[in-house]
Structures are given as C-alpha cells and as structure tokens.
A and B are shown apart, each in its own frame.
Chain A
Amino acid sequence: MSERKLFVHELEARLDEMLLLSLRQRSPATPAAQLEALPRQVQERVLHWVGIAAQTSTELGWAIAQRAGTRAARPGFALDDWARAGLEAHDAGGLAAAQARLDDFAAAAPDTASAARGVAFAAVEGRLAGFLHALDGRPMQLRCGAKTWTDGETLWLPESLDLAADAAGNRRLHTVIAALLWAQARFGTFNVDPEPELVQWADREAALDWFSLFEGMRLEARLALELPGLARDMAALRGPWPADLEPVAARLARPEASAADSLACMAELRRVGAGDTVHPPYRTMLDPLAARRLRAARIARDTGTLRRALNIMRAIDPHSRGGSSDSEYPPLAADGDSVPAELQSGDLQGLPPDARAAAQSLAQDLDGIPPELLRPAGPGAWRPEERDEGEGPVAASSGEPDALYDEWDYRRGAWRRDWCHLYESEGPAGEHAWVDEVRVRHAHLIRSIRRRFEALRGEDKPQRRQLDGEEIDLDAQVDARADRLGGAEPSPRLFVHRRRVERSLAVMFMVDMSGSTKGWVNDAERESLVLLCEAIEALGDSYAIYGFSGWTRTHCDIYRIKRFGDRYDAATRQRIAGIEARDYTRMGVAVRHLSGLLHRQNARHKLLVTLSDGRPDDHGDEYRGRYGIEDTRRALLEAREKGIRSYCVTIDRHGADYLPQLYGPAHYTVIDDAKKLPARIADIYRKLTA
C-alpha cells in the first residue's frame, strides 16, 4: 500500500461509494476532512470498518464514519475494538444502541495502552469456534458475558481480556479459558452432584471457587494427555502452585481422578480450615445447579432419541417383528428386553446417526450407558417444540389439487399411493422496497460476487499455436513456412485448440417456507436469494426458485417465485420479497414435484439446492422424526436416479446429526447462524458448480 495519505476528495468518493451518501443527500465533507489528517494506514482501517458496517446497514456505516475521524486521531486509540463494539451493539439492539456504544466506548476505555493489549471476545470468536469444533467434533455455542462459565452446552467467555503482557498472551488466555470450559463439560465436572459438599460450607461462593480451582487442576492434567501444549500454557499462566496445594494438585493429576476426587479434596480442606483460594488468570465460575438442570434435560432428550432408535431397530428386525406385516403398523415397542449386541459391546455403528450422537452424548454425561436405559419403554421420540394444536394453517389451499404424489412409508416398506395433495400457486408479491434495500445494503458484496462470477463464466476461447487441435492455425503455418524457407527450425505448434467451457446447468432452489423460519431465518433466506440471483445472472446459468410449505398431506403448497425461463425482473424480485414463514415442512413431496420440473429441463447437469432450517416436519406426529427423514431421503434418491444432484443448505445448529442420513456425507452444508447465510451462499454455489 502506498504511504501517501488520501486527499479529501478521494475519501469523499470512497465514503460516498460505500454509504450512497449522495442518494441520501448527505455530505461526506466533514468526516472526510477529519480523516484526511490521519496516516494512510489508519485511513484505510477506518474505511475498512465503514465498508463492513455498510454491509449490515448504511446508517451504521455512516455512524462510524462520522465518529471515526476525531477518535482515531487520539494516540493508541483501539479503532478495531471500537468499531467491533459498535457492530455488536447494532446486532443486539439496533442503530440507537450502536450509536450509544460508539459514543461511550471512548469513555469506557481511556487506558490506551490496555486497549492495544486487550483482546476482545469478538476478535477471537471465529478462531475459538473452529478450535472447539475440532476438539469436540461438533459446533459449540460461544457467547460473551460478565460471568465466565459453561452450562455444559454454551460457553460464556469474557467480553475482553487484558491480563497478559501483550495481545498474543491475551489471545492465548482466551483459548485456555475456552478449552477449560469445554473440558469441564467433556470430562465430567457436572457428572457429580456437588450440593452435599457445598451445603457444608458457610460461604458458598468460596466453596465454588475451591471446586473450580480443584477441577482446574484435574482438567489441566487431563488436557495434558492429549494437548500438552495447551496444558503448558495453563501452567505458565498460573505459575507454580503454592506449596500447601502441591499434594492436592498431584492427587488430582492422576489419570483416574474424577470430579468426585475434587469434592473429596474440598471435604479434607474444610476439615483443616480453608484459607483464601488462589485465582489463576484463567479462573472460571461454576454454576453446578444450572449445569445439572440442563444436563438432566439433555439426558432425558438423548434417552428418548436412543430408545426410539432401538425400538425402530427392533421393529425392522424380522425376528422381533412377529405378526403379519399387513397390519396397519407393526408396534414400535416390541416386547422382550434384549439389548442389541452393538450397544452392549459399546460399538454404536449400527445406530442411525442421530441416535449415535445421542448415545455418545449420554455416555459423556453418564460415563457410560447404563443398561436400563437401553430397555425399550414406549416410543420415546424426538419432539420439536410443539405447536399450539388449535392453530390453523396459514395457507389456504382449496379445490382440486394440481398433482398427487406417492409417499414412502419406511415402516411398511411400501408406498402410500396418491398420498400427498399438491397445490402449486404463484408466490405472493412482497414489497419492492425491501429488495432495493437489500441490494443497496449489500452493494459491496454484490459487486464483488458479480466480479468473481463473471470470471468464472469462461468463454469459448480458441487457443493458438497448439501441438494439435481441431483447426489449423494459419498464422503459425505461415511462420513455419517462412522459417523453413529461411533455414530455421519451424515450430511444430501449428493448430488451434478450441477449449469448450460449457456450463450446461439447470439449478432449482427449493426454499423452506415453514413456520419455524419466521424471523431471522426467513430474512436470511430472502437476502440470500437476492444475492444468488445477482450472482447467477452474471453467470448465465438457468435457474428457478420455488418455495414450499404445507399443513398435513392434503395441503402441500408450492409457491412459484421464479420459473425456469422467467426473467429476474421486478415481479420476480417482489415475489422473493414476499417469501414468508407459513406452515410446516413436508419435504418429500416438494422434492418430488420440483425434481420433476427440473427433470424436464434440457441441461446436462441438474442441481437441486434446498434452503431449509431443520429436519422435515409436518402437523401431527407422523411426518416428524424418522418417517419424514426416510421419505425425504427416498425422494432425493428418486431425483438422483433421474440424474439430479441435490445439495442442502441448512441453518440449524443441531443439524449435522440427521443430515448425513438424509443427504449422504458430501452433499450438504450446515450454517449455525442465519446471519452468516447471505455472505456464504454465493461461495457455496460457486464451489458446487466450479
């Protein structure tokens, strides 16, 4: 980057481009004048943050642009932390909160030296999420809060850390704290009930401090087995233990030590009289009551999932099915309490993925799976949040259905003929202003997506002077002839090779319009569609968008947003804006209908992309859980037989457990936060079709 400072007019142009100030009749003159005095590096940094903020809201970008000049002029001002704090406040409380946070941040952090050293949670959130995902194999919930603790599912980390000598040290401290909290859940801190011990202490807070300290000792040793580097960091951060605590630390460092040993150490300490606890810098709080409450709920849920899977296994197993398969349904809970051998041996491979995850989670919570849990006891089932039964369908489909579709019943191993009534109608038009607003807000992103996609389009370029090819390269022939006559060695590269870059591709986007998408997910879906359309228009692929929802098998609705051949015009954009959360997610029939439409397209490659927020579901119990998954899976297999590839984009933190079963391991992506979808969707599409 050149060292030259940007002049006022350059700054004005950049700000105007990002914030569309001229459209709003605002003048960038004042912020630009303030920024002109700053060094180039700081100028770029400010513009960087304004650009990021503008992607969320131009107002937020403007708020930062207005304030940045005077603040960034202060020596050692932590611009990045300040801007991040503003963005965070905007996410949580809107523009007013962001403005307030941007204004009072300066007052809150007058210590400039500490601002340069301190590391905010927001700055490390992404890397910690990846780090913990690798440790655990599942995405972990990370939050920041005043109290550093975990309930076994969510990890709360401090908003900012400034205890170490430099930023690297503070980042390391974040990592250590996150790993320690993860280890508490992973290595059984909440598997014992500490209450009998805690109630014997006069000071509960002190007791919890001791418990936390002892657990820290135990877990440090535990982590040292597999992650010695991390344990070394912990040891360096805490320094040597005081001499009187050495024996306890050694005792808790034994590999067989458990949380019960930590409690035993507390009991001994209580008898000799406890002094003040030591506070290592990575100190975490414990709230065993909250954690154990959540653990009990988790165990109940996992037990239900596991039991249900075992029931199904028994129902499928011909030896235990018993009666004739003609009966409406074989009983899910078969009698006899034989435990499948896979489970007794601790090998869970025979279970479906969601039950396997539940069993693993149970084994973690209970240090193994007690045999009584494996005894079938009624059809315990996965239950999503129940809907109010009195509520009626949002959609009003009536009259004769446009098509009837079969549905696959895995329990019968047979089709239910003409089971689903499908109604196809035009998607309602929404506000045009919404699309414009999205396009303005994401102007930056759209521009960069279009640029990247245009480069991908590729053209039918002839490559000259090749060793062989479809045509003769006349220029090369003439040169070769001349060379030969002149006595020089002619080049053998005499052909033109036509490189065919053909994208014969038809893509169908199938958008979940179920009630559960209401709010953020629906916004994310619509915004993503706008971005996708912009991207695909640049690419020239043929594509269509349909929404789906429904209320039982007799009201399966498909909404046309954009057909193949429809243009991406104002009417289409309005229909995208009009996508709204409706009823349920009966996915199988939608897949069948839309893959039928896609199949009729004349393209070499056909791709069905579903955007949804969770597993298939419908009103009443039947479609929930395994029935819906099996039916959808069957529908996707049918599509595959027609030569249609499917890919699923799911916004669901817990999504990964059933998706492998539904889509096969390579054909889906899970997005844990709806807000990330618009930024990622174009990349997903590019990767899919590159």
Chain B
Amino acid sequence: MTAPTSSARSDLRAVATPLVQLANEPYYHATGDEVEVFAAAAASGLPVMLKGPTGCGKTRFVEHMAWRLKRPLVTVACHDDLTTSDLVGRYLIVGDETVWMDGPLTAAVRGGAICYLDEIVEARKDTTVVIHPLTDSRRALPVEKRGEYIEAPPDFMLVISYNPGYQSVLKEMKPSTRQRFVALDFDYPQAEVEAGIVAHEGGVDAATATKLVRLGTLTRKLKGAGLDEGAGTRLLVHAAQLIARGMAPVTACTAAIARPLADEPDTRHALDDLIAAVF
C-alpha cells in the first residue's frame, strides 16, 4: 500500500493541464481572409474574438490555426459556474501540505500556448475580468493567490468565441471586454463549400453531402419560427458520419439533426417532413 501523500501527488500530475501541439492538420476550409487576419493578430500579440452561430467551424478554425502556427492549444469550454480559480489555478490541500496547481489559462500563459475560451458569455461576469490584463499592452496575468505576476511570452495568444444569436440579455458581452479583441465573423459557408466540408468530414459522396446541406439550409430558415438556430455544419457532419456507417439517410438525419434541434412536436414533425422530402 502506498502512502496517501504520494498517491495524491501522482493524481495531481495527471490532472494538471498538459500542453500539447497538434500532430496532424485539422481539416479547415477557409471561406475568406480569416487565416491571414488570425496569423497577423498572432504575430502582433493581439487577442482574437470569433463570432458566429453554433457549429459553423469556430473551434475547428482555432485548432487549425494552432497547428499552422505550431503552438500548443488549451481549450476551455465556459459554463455559468466557471470561476476565476478554475481558469487561473488554486491551492489544493494534499495530506498535510497545500499544493498550487495552475489552471488552464495560467498553464497556457506560462507555456506560450493559444488559450481558447469557448462561449465566453456563458462564464460568470466576474470571471471574464481576469483576462483583461492579458488583452492589452500589459499582456500579463496577475495570480493574486500566489502574489505572482506572469508576463506572457510572445507565443501566448488569447482567443474567445461568442454566439451573438443568444437572445438572453443577461448573456451579452460588456463593451469593455469586447473592445479588446480583433473580431472575426463566422457564418455557415456557401452551399457548395459546405457540401465539400460535409463530404470530407463525414465521409459521404458529393450527392449525399449536397442533400444534407440542402436540409441544413432549409432548417436555418426556421430560425425564429420554431427553432432557436438552424442545423450547423457540425450536425450535418454528424449525420454524414452516421450515413457513412451504413445507416439509412432518413434515420441518420432524424437522429443527428431533427432530434437535437427541436423538442416541440410541430417543429419536430416539420423537420421529419423536410428530411423525408429532401432524401
């Protein structure tokens, strides 16, 4: 039997945020000048904000850019109980001693990584303030609990994403936060481009991909009329992957597109009808 302290120690190492570089190129199809803008912002040490609807490729774009710039990527999915400590780090009590553990943001700053805060508006308002010193000329992270002031190396970069389609007034980003970022608008790609992406990612033929994209486009027209948001490219890719496994297209689309989008019976049935009509 091992001593309690050492076992807790090894646990700690296991949960500390690892910094890894992506080995393989994540597939991403550029639709505008976003790659150039992002690269220039990275070279200038500016933070970047990605705006756009769910599932249109924001996260994939960051992964792709991290690979392209050869920097490690730390992704944090923000939620409404994300505290400053969750980002910066905390003391853990292990046996008789207290041990400091860096949070993902601190780890990214120390290691010169890209830190991607996904859906930043979901985080508690006081949490977003901690990123402010990192997003102006200071480029530093004060860690109050340790009395430490970490200057970010040139390779550190902060990226946040934000979905302007949310209607809740409590989930708007404050101008004082917004105005620190270089912003890139994301939207669903053009139909042909999107079909190419679905075919590539989902492993289906061009004809099936075109039908999936047509279905996606039809559902997007229902935004505000039964749906909060239409099917994103990600959902289409999911459906394509199910189809590629040999599932019937209608079943795949029902499971991967219609059910995740809607609970309300009329809208669900309308989606069923659309799927039946497109395939």
A residues near B, CB below 8 A?
124, 126-131, 133-137, 139, 172, 175, 179, 226-230, 233, 467-468, 480, 484, 488-490, 492, 494, 497, 499, 503, 505, 605, 607, 645, 647, 656, 666-667, 669-670, 687-690
Residues of chain A lying within 8 A (CB to CB) of residue B189: none
Whether B214 pairs with A126 at a CB distance below 8 angstroms is: no
Query: Would you mind naming 22 contact pairs between A and B with Cβ atoms under 8 Å apart?
Result: A124-B269, A128-B273, A130-B266, A130-B269, A131-B270, A131-B277, A133-B226, A134-B221, A135-B218, A135-B221, A137-B221, A175-B273, A228-B279, A489-B8, A497-B83, A499-B81, A505-B170, A605-B169, A647-B169, A666-B164, A689-B168, A689-B169
Separation in Å of the B56 CB from the closest CB of chain A? 15
Q: Which of B93, B170, B222, B273 has the most CB of A within 10 A?
A: B273
Residues of chain B lying within 8 A (CB to CB) of residue A229: 250, 275-279
Whether A492 pairs with B277 at a CB distance below 8 angstroms is: no
Q: Which residue of B lies closest to A179 (CB)?
A: B277
Residues of chain B lying within 8 A (CB to CB) of residue A467: 85, 90, 92
Asked if B219 is at the interface of the complex by the 8 Å CB criterion, the answer is yes
Asked if B177 is at the interface of the complex by the 8 Å CB criterion, the answer is no
State the CA gap A494–B266 with chains docked (Å): 49
Whether A127 pairs with B94 at a CB distance below 8 angstroms is: no
Whether A688 pairs with B269 at a CB distance below 8 angstroms is: no
Asked if B24 is at the interface of the complex by the 8 Å CB criterion, the answer is no
Q: Which residue of A lies closest to B5 (CB)?
A: A489
Whether A228 pairs with B278 at a CB distance below 8 angstroms is: yes
Separation in Å of the A51 CB from the closest CB of chain B? 16
Residues of chain A lying within 8 A (CB to CB) of residue B266: 126-127, 129-130
5 shortest interchain CB distances as A-B pairs: A130-B270, A126-B266, A127-B269, A489-B4, A230-B277
The one of A228, A230, A490, A689 in contact with B170, judged by C-beta atoms closer than 8 angstroms, is: A689
Separation in Å of the A98 CB from the closest CB of chain B? 23
Residues of chain A lying within 8 A (CB to CB) of residue B81: 499
Residues of chain A lying within 8 A (CB to CB) of residue B270: 126-131, 133-134
State the CA gap A134–B250 with chains docked (Å): 18
Whether A134 pairs with B92 at a CB distance below 8 angstroms is: no
State the CA gap A209–B226 with chains docked (Å): 37
Whether A494 pairs with B93 at a CB distance below 8 angstroms is: yes
Residues of chain B lying within 8 A (CB to CB) of residue A233: 276-277
The one of B94, B169, B218 in contact with A492, judged by C-beta atoms closer than 8 angstroms, is: B94
Separation in Å of the A667 CB from the closest CB of chain B? 7
A-B contact count, CB below 8 Å?
A: 120
Whether A131 pairs with B221 at a CB distance below 8 angstroms is: no
Whether B165 pairs with A133 at a CB distance below 8 angstroms is: no
Whether B96 pairs with A126 at a CB distance below 8 angstroms is: no
Asked if B267 is at the interface of the complex by the 8 Å CB criterion, the answer is yes
Whether B91 pairs with A468 at a CB distance below 8 angstroms is: yes
Asked if B32 is at the interface of the complex by the 8 Å CB criterion, the answer is no
The one of B95, B226, B250 in contact with A490, judged by C-beta atoms closer than 8 angstroms, is: B95
Whether A133 pairs with B221 at a CB distance below 8 angstroms is: yes
Whether B269 pairs with A645 at a CB distance below 8 angstroms is: no
The one of A492, A669, A688 in contact with B168, judged by C-beta atoms closer than 8 angstroms, is: A688
State the CA gap A670–B168 with chains docked (Å): 17
Asked if B274 is at the interface of the complex by the 8 Å CB criterion, the answer is yes
Whether A134 pairs with B276 at a CB distance below 8 angstroms is: no
State the CA gap A670–B271 with chains docked (Å): 20
Separation in Å of the A538 CB from the closest CB of chain B? 18
Q: Chain B 73-93 against A: per-residue CB contact (8 Å), 1 yes, 0 no?
A: 000000001010100001111
Q: Which of B8, B93, B95, B226 has the most CB of A within 10 A?
A: B93
Whether A134 pairs with B274 at a CB distance below 8 angstroms is: yes
Whether A690 pairs with B224 at a CB distance below 8 angstroms is: no
Q: Which of B167, B221, B228, B250 has the most CB of A within 10 A?
A: B167
Asked if B172 is at the interface of the complex by the 8 Å CB criterion, the answer is yes
Whether A126 pairs with B269 at a CB distance below 8 angstroms is: yes
Residues of chain A lying within 8 A (CB to CB) of residue B275: 229
Residues of chain A lying within 8 A (CB to CB) of residue B222: 130, 133-134
Separation in Å of the A158 CB from the closest CB of chain B? 17
Whether A134 pairs with B219 at a CB distance below 8 angstroms is: yes
Whether B277 pairs with A227 at a CB distance below 8 angstroms is: yes
Whether A131 pairs with B91 at a CB distance below 8 angstroms is: no
Residues of chain B lying within 8 A (CB to CB) of residue A669: 224
Asked if B14 is at the interface of the complex by the 8 Å CB criterion, the answer is no
Which residues of B107-130 are within 8 A (CB) of A?
Answer: none
Q: Which residue of B lies closest to A668 (CB)?
A: B224
Q: Which residue of B lies closest to A659 (CB)?
A: B224
Residues of chain A lying within 8 A (CB to CB) of residue B7: 489
Q: Which residue of A lies closest to B174 (CB)?
A: A643
Whether A688 pairs with B169 at a CB distance below 8 angstroms is: yes
Separation in Å of the A204 CB from the closest CB of chain B? 33
The one of B96, B166, B168 in contact with A484, judged by C-beta atoms closer than 8 angstroms, is: B96
Residues of chain A lying within 8 A (CB to CB) of residue B169: 505, 605, 607, 645, 647, 688-689
State the CA gap A173–B178 with chains docked (Å): 51
Asked if B265 is at the interface of the complex by the 8 Å CB criterion, the answer is yes
Q: Which residue of A lies closest to B210 (CB)?
A: A226
Whether B226 pairs with A130 at a CB distance below 8 angstroms is: yes
Asked if B23 is at the interface of the complex by the 8 Å CB criterion, the answer is no
Separation in Å of the B229 CB from the closest CB of chain A? 11
Residues of chain A lying within 8 A (CB to CB) of residue B269: 124, 126-127, 130
Whether B225 pairs with A133 at a CB distance below 8 angstroms is: yes
A666-B164, A690-B168 given as contacts; is B265 within 8 A of A126 (CB)?
yes
**Supplied contacts A229-B277, A468-B90, 12 more A-B pairs, CB within 8 Å:** A130-B269, A134-B270, A139-B225, A229-B276, A230-B276, A480-B93, A484-B96, A489-B7, A499-B81, A503-B170, A645-B169, A647-B167
